[in-house]
Amino acid sequence: MSHVDESYLVGLIGDGITASLSPPMHEQEAREHGLLYLYRPVDTAALGLRDEEAQAAAPRLLAAGRELGFNAFNITHPFKQTIMEHLDEVDEDARNLGAVNTVVFRDGRSVGYNTDFSGYITGLQTTMAEPDLSQVVQLGAGGAGSAIAYALLRAGARRLTLMDLDLDRATARAAALQDQFPDQTVAARPHAELQEALVTATGLAHCTPVGMNGHPGMPVEAAWLRPEMWVSEVVYLPVETELVVAARAAGCAVVDGGRMAVGQALDAFGLITGRQADPERVRRHFLDLVARNQG
């Protein structure tokens, strides 16, 4: 490679994100495309900012980055909702979700997108050509769960059942999604009915922290998993959660949590550079990074 045609300066604004895997994933894929691409975490915790102070600082950091010539920022917890009002334009899906995780500066304007939901769809469809979305049960209706529920409906889920230890949260989320997707069915059920709900499920989307480092365990009984259903996992540290291992053993098609993390990065990289990242290459790099972090 004799010269670099394009250069990108990208940031990540969030709280406690200095060790994020996004910078090395983006930078490595950019090298494969012959791009000069610097991706820097802007960690409000490392800057000593907390709560309201951090919320006030996030739009200032975004504006400063824009003035300094940054091309884009990824936005993560806890700024995905509050950053929206500070943007010139918000993509329709991000507006429907009420959350932005990618901001691109284009033609003098800041444009917000959400690749959490699209990254989930990318991961699902990378793993299965045509996942059966006729009757999906989703466990967990919090932050990640909101994006995944929207993704499943956007991908064509005919019936989506939301279950959460907090039934009120699941019910409110289901009602909001039902309004957005009137031709599909969205309902909430008590967590106690999970075993019963899985009897007819074509897929299970797991969206809680159970199984991640520090939260070991299984969100469902292994005996409830049937080979006819697919299982998707949101946790990616570790990638091989107890649920992923049990679902494979049960003969289910499995989408591990790394698929969504990689899908999110693929979509963000595409928005920032206009180039298509290589899914399997980014996946391999991601798994290498996770192995190093676990080591």
Residue 102 phi/psi, 5-degree rounding, is -140, 125
- What lies within 8 Å, CB to CB, of 84 at 6+ separation is 90, 94, 95, 98, 99, 100, 112
Helix, strand, coil share of the chain (percent; to 5): 45, 20, 35
Catalytic residue among 26, 80, 206, 259: 80
Q: 70 Cβ partners below 8 Å, 6+ apart?
A: 9, 10, 11, 105
Inter-residue contact 137 to 130 (CB < 8 Å): no
- How many whole angstroms from its chain centre is CA 26? 15
Structural tokens at position 1: 């490679």
Active site residue 80: yes
Where in the sequence numbering do the catalytic residues fall?
Answer: 80
